Amino acid sequence: MVKIGKKEKSDQLYKAILMLKDEQECYDFFQDLCTVSELRSMEQRFEVASLLDDGMIYNEILERTGASSATISRVNRSLSYGTGAYAKLFERMKEPKK
């Protein structure tokens, strides 16, 4: 898996995302930033990652989400060999609110 090098990306986008205050601001920002197709693709990949993390098998995920086997496989590789960001986020999402 190719990771984006520091020199190849702009920090501005990531810093801007961290400045969003709530879910509505986040939703509005991504609506402005992305096409409907891009948003749906990201939402689908995140759902696939969540279902894989919960132990669901490929065929069930394919049926439930409509994601292609290639998408499911790519997301699974990210879960297994990526940066660990999915795992961190899923863990945080399971934590009780303080």
Which domains, from first to last, does the chain contain? 35-94 (1.10.1270.10)
Which residues contact residue 14 at a Cβ distance below 8 angstroms, ignoring those fewer than 6 apart?
none
Res 95: pLDDT: 86
Q: Which two tokens stand for residue 11?
A: 């920090």
The answer to whether the beta carbons of residues 45 and 66 sit under 8 Å apart is: no
Q: pTM (2 decimals)? A: 0.83
pLDDT along the chain (98 residues), means of 10: 60 94 97 97 97 96 96 97 95 83
d(CA 79, CA 98): 27
